[in-house]
Amino acid sequence: MFNVVLVAPEIPANTGNIGRTCVVTGSRLHLVGPLGFSLDEKSLHRAGLGYWESLDVTVYADWDEFVEKNALTATDTRLHLLTKKARRTYAEARYADGDFLVFGCESVGLPEELLAAHADCCERIPMLPDAISLDNTASWGSTGERNSHAALLTRDVCGNFVNPEDYRISALNLSNAAAIVLYEALRQTGFQGM
């Protein structure tokens, strides 16, 4: 069983989607606070569909409680911290049953001090540079229009955070990133049907 860990998630729909993915893959979900929403939030349950009631989920007040309750150490090889700031890709990593796939909050990712403390555990999902992946920025309107709509355009339709000054995608949607890495881990460990 894999462990998907969300540190300070902010968007309930992403967490609901990830919860649904955990149920269908037999994975456990760990939510590390502070959470940016209530677990009673309708959008969380709507995204989780009927799966939410079957989800194996544990909530922790903070990272220290998560580490303590899961008996993790500073050099624990079961940790996989997903960040844009890693040299090794998720596909280069080796996964084993019981590993923890750790994702940060949607707006800023994992805290710098956590990444520094576990530098050997950091992995990234390769992506095209913003200029290549989003080549239609000119069609998004003039600077005046951009400024008047900045509050509406800080997040795109997929939940990606977008810089209102230049409209570059900062990262994959959290639920997409979690699914990509989880399915690679499952593939490597011989998940049924893969």
**Residue 150: pLDDT above 70?**
no
Q: Give 22-64 pLDDT, tens digit per residue.
A: 999 999 999 999 999 888 878 777 777 778 889 999 999 999 9
- Which residues lie closer than 8 Å to 162 by C-beta, 6 or more apart? 153, 154, 155, 156, 168, 169, 170
First and final CA of the chain: distance in angstroms? 16
Rounded Cα distance, 121 and 136, in Å: 35
User: 109 and 41, same structural domain?
Assistant: yes
User: 39 and 117, same structural domain?
Assistant: yes
Residue 193: inside a domain: no
User: 154 and 97, same structural domain?
Assistant: no
User: 116 and 47, same structural domain?
Assistant: yes
Q: How many CB atoms lie within 10 A of CB 84?
A: 14
Mean pLDDT, residues 143-156 taken together = 46
Q: How confident is the model at residue 152 (pLDDT cuts 50, 70, 90)?
A: very low
Domain that holds residue 146: 128-171
Distances (CA, A) of 92 to 80, 89, 121, 185: 11, 5, 12, 11
User: 51 and 23, same structural domain?
Assistant: yes
User: 88 and 11, same structural domain?
Assistant: yes
Number of domains in the chain: 2
